[in-house]
Chain A
Amino acid sequence: MLCFMSAKRSDLKLLGGWFSPFVTRVKIALNIKGLEYENIEEDLNSKSDLLLRSNPVHKKIPVLIHGDKPICESSIILQYIDEVWSNGPSILPQDAYDRAIATFWVSYIDDKLFVCMWNILMAFEDEEERKPHFEQLEEEVLVTLEVAFNKCSEGKPFFGGNDVGFIDIALGSFLPFLYVLEKMNGKKVLTVDKFPELENWTTNFIANSVVIETLPEIDDKLVLFCKAFRRKWVTAKAAAK
């Protein structure tokens, strides 16, 4: 029987934001499966009723709405997409053990890499405060991910093998944010000398057909957005004290 993925208009809405790495993850996953969707741009300063209704617990993007069912949290959304559209190319590995390993690394990326980069952004104005977070990024987190890449890729271009997979999406979605931090701090971190495999991987990732047009441009608009986001967050935190 001939099976093919048609990009038919499935009832999909993505509540998202151009700047959000977590939203980017969902866009890449939908591209992998060849799915059409309605992209709804949220203003985080004025969240829509739809967003508040669809994610009442966290009130965050991304939310994927399939028919009338909302699914929240980017890794959970990716697993959902993979399970529903199981006929398309896989996002997660087929084998249970490999799946557990992939989920472990995505968890690591969210718990360690993201938190580290967040801390660097928040300490933007204070070099002394930034230093230990940069050290952690360069000497611990990226080193660990370089080793992970070698293990997972087994000589192939992506963590997922020949194709972009779960770990690639989770890590790759943070690249624009990483480049912004490098720009803002005047310091390149993901260098080919220290991280040859990861650096090579970034080139392959960004050029991949499912990724093109999902990542925000690394330009002044994104840098300004990050600075404004940081200012707002720091002000809100100070006000809460």
Chain B
Amino acid sequence: MADEVVLLDFWPSPFGMRVRIALAEKGIDYEGREEDLSNKSPLLLKMNPVNKQIPVLIHKGRPISESLIIVQYIDEAWSNNKSPLLPSDPYQRANARFWADYIDKKIYSTGRLVWGTTGEVQEKAKEELRESFRVLEKELAEKTYFGGDMFGLVDVALIPFYSWFYTLETTANFSITEEFPRLVSWAKRCMQRDSVSNSVPDQYKIYDFLLDLKKKMHSIE
């Protein structure tokens, strides 16, 4: 039932996108509620008092926070479903978790620096981001998805950042498509899945949003 599952979300958030994708992969009905992060709802503050952040999944009244924790919870709570997001073998599961953790550690904060800074700081961040993409391409190798034939946790963790590619390329003057063709092919492959294309906004929409955000940030200064 849709009222059993509620997702507190914010449309441009890559972390929110991960949960949308997982819910869609499992065919789970849910009520999505858009949060205004400058004016957080009492429900959000009650359901995530520690971090006060989206996404928060509320299942039968009980909240779960942190996107990768939510995705794994979804996989376990709806486990008799035909689309597992994690493999069943413990070593392969550890490997999937390792790469999801790598993406969490490396992509978001570095990407933000590439977008938000200039000069030497931006150059350094750009190099770090390139190195992370190199490592990820190596791990992907010739596989269809990071987990092999099965679309899974690592793909879910990374694909939201595809919506940032145009912004990063334009802001930092480099071509991810040229430098990392395998990664971009993988991303386009993922975007062909309905669960992904319905959850990950268009790159230009994200670019406009981030441009607006930058203007707002600069006008505050």
Contacts of B73 in A (CB 8 A): 96-97, 99-100
The majority secondary structure among interface residues of chain A is helix
In this assembly, does A72 line the interface, its C-beta being within 8 Å of a C-beta of chain B? yes
Chain B window 132-149, contacts with chain A (Cβ cutoff 8 Å), 1 for yes, 0 for no: 000100000000000000
Residue of A nearest to B93 (CB): A83
Chain B window 58-87, contacts with chain A (Cβ cutoff 8 Å), 1 for yes, 0 for no: 010010111001101100110000000000
Contacts of A100 in B (CB 8 A): 64, 69-70, 72-73
Q: Are B90 and A57 in contact (CB under 8 A)?
A: no
Q: Are B76 and A96 in contact (CB under 8 A)?
A: yes
Q: In the complex, A69 Cα to B95 Cα: how many Å?
A: 10
Q: Are B94 and A71 in contact (CB under 8 A)?
A: yes
Chain A min CB distance to B129 (Å): 15
A:15-74 near B, CB below 8 Å: 57, 66, 69, 71-73
Residue of A nearest to B124 (CB): A240
Q: Are B94 and A103 in contact (CB under 8 A)?
A: no
Contacts of A103 in B (CB 8 A): 66, 69, 72
In this assembly, does B52 line the interface, its C-beta being within 8 Å of a C-beta of chain A? no
Contacts of B77 in A (CB 8 A): 96-97
Size category of the A interface is: 20 to 34
In this assembly, does B2 line the interface, its C-beta being within 8 Å of a C-beta of chain A? no
Q: Are A97 and B64 in contact (CB under 8 A)?
A: yes
Which residue, A77, A97, A99, A108, has most C-beta atoms of chain B within 10 A? A97
Contacts of A57 in B (CB 8 A): 102, 135
A:100-129 near B, CB below 8 Å: 100-101, 103-104, 107-108
Residue of B nearest to A105 (CB): B50
Tally chain B residues at the interface, Cβ within 8 Å: 21
Contacts of A80 in B (CB 8 A): 90-91, 93-94
Chain B min CB distance to A141 (Å): 10
Contacts of B204 in A (CB 8 A): none
In this assembly, does A144 line the interface, its C-beta being within 8 Å of a C-beta of chain B? yes
Q: In the complex, A108 Cα to B69 Cα: how many Å?
A: 12
Q: Are A104 and B69 in contact (CB under 8 A)?
A: yes
Q: In the complex, A23 Cα to B65 Cα: how many Å?
A: 27
Known: A71-B94, A79-B94. 14 other contacts (CB 8 A): A57-B135, A72-B98, A76-B94, A76-B101, A79-B93, A83-B90, A83-B93, A97-B62, A99-B73, A99-B76, A100-B73, A104-B64, A107-B66, A107-B69
A-B contact pairs, 26 of them (CB 8 A): A57-B102, A57-B135, A66-B91, A71-B91, A71-B94, A71-B98, A72-B98, A73-B101, A76-B97, A76-B98, A79-B94, A80-B91, A80-B94, A83-B90, A84-B90, A96-B76, A97-B59, A97-B64, A97-B77, A99-B76, A100-B69, A100-B72, A103-B66, A104-B64, A104-B66, A144-B50
